[in-house]
Amino acid sequence: MKGIITKAVGGFFFPADSQQQIYRTKIRGKVKEKVYPGDLVKFAGGMIEELYPRKNRLLRPCIANVDQVVIVQAVAAPSLDRRLLERFLLVVEAEGLLPLIVINKIDLVADKTKIREELADYQKAGYRVCFVSVKDNTGLAELIKLLDQRINVLTGPSGVGKSSLINEIVSGARLKVGAISPRLQRGIHTTRHVELLPIKEGGWVADTPGFTSLDIDQIAAEELSLLYPEFVQYLNQCKFRVCSHTHEPGCSVKNAVEQGEISQRRYQSYQTFYQEIKK
């Protein structure tokens, strides 16, 4: 039987079949490579017999065969952090994965048009942005469609409502929901291990421990511009073959910013991260 590993706990591995029924298994000795959630395996009689080749694997968190990374932010409690969102996007782009931006808790803002305009530059850059509210069930049907038939990794800072979101889209999920620290005004971590949970209409979603910062040191300064989708069409039009897109004359990226074709805020983000990486 072929299945997908949903979690690994205490030396046991829990694969699910095509009907999302979960089994408890161990690994036969001939399987030498380490097995992670998301891995596709062949199993029978309570034993994993074979590990199928994986198309990718994230290291932190350790999940295999990821199709989409769902980056969750909140408009308030905790407040939207564009700088952190940009870091998540860079890491996801560097991994070659498909990002989906989800903005939760939109019930907490009176002017919903304003928050949509605030994030319009991400949509202009080509990212999909989904606005939801778990509290009043806004946008969840649209979100589920975007998660359908994929292995999705749900990530973002603590307190933005990832666990509450999973409790709404996963049948029978009862994840512990973290409170917001009054002193720090950010969430308290509630997720301790990686587990794939079945989405009602098909596909899987993984909750991961919340992050408050992300390291981008593994990204080379020369490759950074490739991780901004809206830059790509201009990169071969610069006057100089080697262009950092920060100070050189005849830079097509800078010209696109001046013409309003690239968001000024996104370009400023690029400049900031470029200098950070160079240092």
Q: What is the pLDDT of residues 87-100, one digit of tens each?
A: 999 999 998 999 99
Residue 266 pLDDT level (bands cut at 50, 70, 90): very high
Residue type present at position 47: M
Q: What letters, b where the CB count within 10 A reaches 16 and e where it falls short, cover 43-62?
A: beeeebeebeebeeebeebe
Terminal Cα-to-Cα distance of the chain (whole angstroms): 51
CB atoms within 10 A of CB 114: 10
Tell me the pLDDT tens digit for each residue of 167-214: 998 876 665 544 433 333 344 444 457 889 999 778 999 866 645 457
Q: Chain centroid to CA 82: how far?
A: 14
Query: 3-state class of 211 per DSSP?
Result: coil
Q: Give the pLDDT band of residue 62 (cuts 50, 70, 90).
A: confident
Token digits for 67? 């199709």
User: In this predicted structure, what is the pLDDT of residue 202?
Assistant: 85
* Global pTM exceeds 0.85: yes
Least confident stretch, 47-56, 161-170, 191-200: 191-200
Domains of the chain, with CATH numbers?
A: 2-53 (2.40.50.140), 63-207 (3.40.50.300), 221-278 (1.10.40.50)
Based on the number of CB atoms within 10 Å of its own CB, is 94 exposed (0-12), middle (13-18) or buried (19 or more)? middle
Q: What is the pLDDT at residue 30?
A: 87
Compute CA distances 127 → 71, 132, 176, 195, 254, whole Å: 11, 16, 30, 26, 21
Measure the CA angle with vertex 63, ends 57 and 64; round to 5°. 50
**pLDDT, position 217:** 84
Return mean pLDDT, the chain. Answer: 89
Which amino acid is located at 28 in the chain? R
Assess contact for 76 and 155: CB atoms under 8 A: no
How far apart, in Å, are the Cα atoms of 195 and each of 52, 74, 177, 233, 250? 19, 23, 16, 38, 49
Query: What pLDDT sits at residue 208?
Result: 66
- Asked if residues 247 and 238 have their Cβ atoms less than 8 Å apart, the reply is no
When mean pLDDT is compared across 111-115, 229-233, 254-258, the lowest value belongs to 111-115
Residue type, 86: E
How many Cβ atoms are within 10 Å of 246's Cβ, its own excluded? 16
